[in-house]
Amino acid sequence: MLGAIALQGLAAAVLAHVAWCDVRWRRIANRDVLLLAALGAAAAVLEVSPFGLDLGQALLGMTLALLALLPFYLLRWMGAGDVKLAAAIGMWLGAAHAGEAWLISVLLAVVWGLGLVWVRSGAAQLAAPRTGPRMPPLRQVPYGMALSLAAVAIWWLRR
pLDDT, tens only, 30-75 = 999 999 999 999 999 999 999 999 999 999 999 999 999 999 999 9
Measured distance CA(67)–CA(35) in Å, rounded: 20
Q: Is the pLDDT of residue 82 over 60?
A: yes
Interatomic CA distance for residues 146 and 136, integer angstroms:
21
* pTM (2 d.p.): 0.86
Burial of 132 (0-12, 13-18, 19+ CB in 10 A): exposed
b vs e for 114-127, b when ≥16 Cβ sit within 10 Å of the residue's Cβ?
eeeeeeeeeeeeee
pLDDT in tens, 19-37: 999 999 999 999 999 999 9
Instruction: Check the CA dihedral 40-44-45-47 and report its sign.
Output: positive
Angle at 27 between CA 23 and CA 29, to 5 degrees: 125
